[in-house]
């Protein structure tokens, strides 16, 4: 008869112990798991992406209910164990259920520390520890405006980022003068603060919370120095405390955590403990990597193998905090006997510091560029003497040539035992072996086979580089997501073929790439049409019938199958004649609603499809062209009144907005494209949530890219600072052309920049002046064609607004196709 093993706590450390146990002794125990939350085992590290909307609960699940069933594990969710009866070897839950054990594994994790200040019990004061906290934050953001996050560590900054993306005004309160002081030195912390301030987060540094104000619900926060701020939500992110109450009540010896030996046994040899609730050799750990190391040793002893020992962990931290790459390891401050080597590149937002003692690395901090973090960490753990390559140490492993420790110019020159994924203890050798023996071609496949980058995701970029370097020339037929069912080729492969083989028509693409459907389908035809006309603007012919119905009909289809018409107003500026033309058209065609849009234009809402050619003919006669409010093109250029009228304005934002719109209207882009020009840093035109935003300052302009103001709000990244109007126009044209040439169809600038990296865009546009000018010139060439407004031909009365006679394109699909 099998022994009975009970796990208390359905979190990452406890369930990882079961996973390790099932690998080496799958039939040893009858296993029962008790979890207080009503879910399976999820990745707690991914709560931040869940808060921002980048991941769902299903996507962060590590083990579904089916996994427990497949492994004959009895799972009780929503049950909290309230008592351990060690004498009778029983656990008792909050609803009175009892279960007996032969071996007990306690993995109760930790609790968020809630400052015991007056008002901490008010509604709206929460931690940031579980799914319920995330759901509370999301729901609160729908009703309230002001959020205060107490704590400037990793969790606090991630909470602030997520709440800001949900539209809340966020203030971060930190008792120290530097953010993330446990992971960063003062300079890196200051750089991080400056970066986040540019994105709109407000910081109150060196502040000690005195009281949380409110009657039933939180209304504000006061500080010891007398300052006071408004708050509808307070998120406590000031640290965690091991959850030891259950163990203490059972008489299990505890210090700060549940005290365990090197085999993860407590003072009761039948009771083991792992995770954040544990104290081992006077240390408590909150990072994933040590917890998984504990899990492996604990599983070894539960399997009665008896040769594993946990002797503590040397930790490194590789993080991405709100889009900024960070790495730290060891003692990055040092003492009087240590030396510091520092590398700074402010224009690229890069800072590196390595602390040496007797030419051996004691610690390191990397900001903005973390590729060499694992190499520094390996050198530190090996206590390697770096004197032979000390002069080039800060330039990374790739600058060693053939003369140094781990020399080489690619990730493949890292030694096989270099740890790439600290969370799961995966080395470069493990990844390469899996790629070569299993025939892996994608990051997701590497995750599934090795667990590298499957936890916090901080090493994803490095794993992808190892993947690319390992596959190399063997990547002739990679496993990629095809564009559609007509082909096995991806968007990137199709576009590359169009450019490399000079394909200028759909028929040529179908033939060259052996398309299965000779006429394409609703998914591939619009994409192919865009790739053709953007790659070969002077040769390829735009096919109107391969555009979405919104673009072809020149109106935005609504849920009642009527359409809206939006004429263009340059920079939001109009004239009495234009207003009269709009009013006349509204009267003539009995438009049900005339609405001012968020993009500073007028929307004629509720027109029937057969009215569109006629109303556009009238508006064209009045000199008004399409605003392309429904196109994969420039939509709007929003402006404030700027220095011409506003007392705060530093530049003429209206004139600049009109110049930008006249430069770029009618352009073909992978997805909709929005711009804005604010006349001063008060940013009334909301330029920092646009695809290309211009903020006027005393010395000229700040240029911002990659913003998004929709469901998933993304604040822009700063591209450059320029002095003249001409430079703004040149950068705008070059940025749009780079986006046009390299982004995938239906990919907004925000995900495109996140995919290729801000540094890549800066290298192409800021660092390489000749390339910027070439991109701008190519954009102007294409605009000579597109600004003849070929779409306007489709607004004439004789134009037939109908789909091509294909089975896959029909009236029933208009609603689906319209939204891309």
Binding-site residues from annotation for [4Fe-4S] cluster: 640, 646, 680, 684
Among the listed residues 518, 415, 563, the one whose alpha carbon sits nearest the alpha carbon of residue 806: 518
Enumerate the known binding-site residues for siroheme.
684
Q: Are 233 and 205 in contact (CB under 8 A)?
A: no
Q: How far apart are CA 470 and CA 452, in angstroms?
A: 15
Q: How far apart are CA 374 and CA 234, in angstroms?
A: 36
Q: Are 717 and 706 in contact (CB under 8 A)?
A: yes
Pairing, β 125-126 against β 209-214: unpaired
Enumerate the known binding-site residues.
640, 646, 680, 684
Neighbours of 197 (CB within 10 A): 12
Q: How far apart are CA 651 and CA 187, in angstroms?
A: 33
- Report which DSSP code applies to 722: E
Q: How far apart are CA 782 and CA 771, in angstroms?
A: 17
Whole-number Cα distances in Å, 175 to 159, 277, 811: 17, 25, 61
Encode burial over 233-246: b for 16+ CB neighbours within 10 A, e otherwise.
bbbbbbebebbbeb
Exposure of 609 by Cβ count < 10 A (0-12 exposed, 13-18 middle, 19+ buried)? middle
- Helices 725-742 and 524-535: crossing angle in degrees, nearest 10, is 130
Q: How far apart are CA 747 and CA 735, in angstroms?
A: 15
Phi/psi of residue 639, nearest 5 degrees: -135, 160
Secondary structure string (H, E, C) spanning 227-254 = CEEECCEEEECCCEEECCHHHHHCCCCE
Phi/psi of residue 580, nearest 5 degrees: -65, -40
């Amino acid at each position: 008869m099998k022994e009975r093993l009970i796990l208390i706590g359905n979190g990452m450390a406890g369930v990882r112990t079961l996973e390790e146990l099932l690998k080496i002794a799958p039939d040893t125990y009858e296993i029962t798991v008790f979890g207080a939350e009503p879910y399976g085992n999820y990745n707690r590290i991914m709560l931040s992406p869940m808060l921002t909307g980048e991941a769902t609960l299903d996507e962060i699940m590590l083990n579904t209910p089916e996994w427990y069933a497949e492994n004959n594990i009895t799972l009780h969710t929503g049950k909290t164990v309230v008592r351990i009866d060690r004498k009778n070897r029983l656990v008792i839950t909050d609803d009175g259920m009892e279960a007996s054990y032969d071996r007990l594994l306690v993995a109760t994790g930790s609790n968020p520390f809630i400052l015991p200040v007056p008002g901490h019990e008010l509604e709206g004061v929460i931690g940031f520890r579980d799914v319920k906290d995330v759901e509370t934050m999301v729901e609160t953001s729908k009703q309230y405006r002001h959020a205060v996050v107490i704590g400037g560590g990793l969790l606090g900054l991630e909470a602030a980022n997520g709440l800001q993306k949900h539209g809340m005004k966020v203030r971060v309160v930190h008792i120290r003068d530097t953010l993330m002081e446990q992971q960063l030195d003062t300079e890196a912390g200051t750089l991080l603060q400056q970066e986040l301030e540019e994105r709109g987060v407000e910081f109150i540094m060196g502040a000690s919370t005195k009281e949380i104000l409110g009657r039933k619900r939180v209304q504000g926060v006061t500080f010891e120095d007398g300052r006071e701020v408004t708050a509808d939500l307070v998120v406590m992110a000031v640290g965690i405390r091991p959850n030891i109450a259950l163990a203490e009540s059972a008489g299990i010896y505890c210090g700060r955590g549940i005290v365990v030996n090197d085999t993860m046994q407590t003072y009761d040899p039948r009771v083991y403990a792992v995770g954040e609730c544990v104290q081992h050799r006077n240390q408590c750990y909150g990072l994933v990597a040590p917890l998984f190391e504990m899990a492996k040793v604990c599983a070894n002893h539960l399997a009665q193998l008896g040769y594993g020992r946990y002797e503590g962990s040397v930790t490194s931290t590789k993080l991405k905090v709100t889009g900024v790459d960070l790495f730290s390891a060891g003692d990055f401050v040092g003492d009087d006997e240590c030396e510091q080597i520092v590398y700074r590149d402010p224009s690229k937002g890069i800072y590196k510091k390595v602390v040496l003692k007797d030419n051996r690395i004691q610690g390191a901090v990397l900001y903005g560029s973390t590729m060499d973090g694992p190499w520094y960490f390996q050198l530190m753990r090996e206590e390697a003497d770096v004197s032979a390559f000390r002069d080039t140490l800060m330039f990374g492993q790739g600058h060693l040539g053939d003369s140094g420790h781990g020399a080489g110019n690619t990730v493949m020159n890292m030694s096989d035992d270099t740890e790439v994924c600290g969370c799961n203890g995966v080395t470069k050798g493990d990844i390469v072996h899996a790629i070569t023996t299993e025939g892996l071609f994608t990051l997701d496949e590497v995750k599934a086979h090795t667990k590298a980058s499957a936890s916090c995701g901080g090493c994803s970029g490095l794993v992808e580089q190892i993947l690319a370097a390992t596959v190399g020339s063997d990547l002739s037929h990679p496993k990629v997501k095809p564009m559609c069912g007509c082909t096995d080729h991806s968007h990137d492969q199709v576009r590359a073929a169009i450019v490399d083989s000079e394909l200028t028509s759909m028929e040529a693409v179908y033939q060259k790439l052996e398309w299965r459907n000779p006429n394409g389908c609703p998914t591939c035809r619009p994409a192919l049409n865009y790739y053709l006309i953007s790659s070969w603007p002077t040769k390829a012919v735009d096919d109107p019938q391969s555009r979405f119905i919104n673009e072809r009909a020149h109106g935005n289809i609504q849920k009642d199958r009527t359409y809206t018409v939006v004429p263009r107003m340059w920079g939001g500026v109009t004239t009495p004649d234009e207003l009269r033309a709009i009013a006349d058209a509204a009267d003539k065609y009995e438009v049900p609603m005339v609405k001012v849009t968020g993009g500073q234009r007028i929307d004629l809402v509720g027109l029937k499809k057969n009215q569109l050619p006629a109303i556009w003919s009238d508006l064209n006669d009045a000199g008004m062209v399409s605003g392309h409010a429904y196109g994969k093109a420039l939509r709007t250029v929003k402006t404030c009144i700027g220095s011409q009228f506003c007392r705060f304005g530093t530049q003429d934002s209206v004139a600049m907005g009109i110049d930008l719109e006249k430069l770029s209207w009618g352009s073909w882009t992978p997805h909709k494209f929005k711009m804005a020009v604010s006349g001063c840093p008060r940013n009334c035109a909301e330029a920092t949530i646009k695809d290309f935003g211009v903020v006027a300052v005393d010395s000229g302009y700040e240029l911002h890219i990659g913003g998004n103001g929709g469901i998933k709000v993304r604040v822009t990244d700063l591209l450059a600072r320029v002095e003249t109007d001409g430079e703004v126009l040149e950068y705008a044209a070059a940025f749009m052309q780079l986006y046009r040439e390299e982004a995938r169809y239906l990919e907004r600038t925000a995900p495109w920049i996140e995919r290729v990296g801000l540094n890549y865009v800066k290298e192409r546009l800021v660092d390489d002046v000749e390339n910027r000018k070439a991109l701008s010139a190519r954009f102007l060439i294409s605009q000579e064609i597109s600004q003849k407004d070929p779409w306007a031909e489709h607004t004439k009365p004789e134009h037939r607004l109908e789909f091509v006679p294909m089975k896959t394109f029909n009236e029933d699909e208009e609603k689906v196709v319209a939204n891309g």
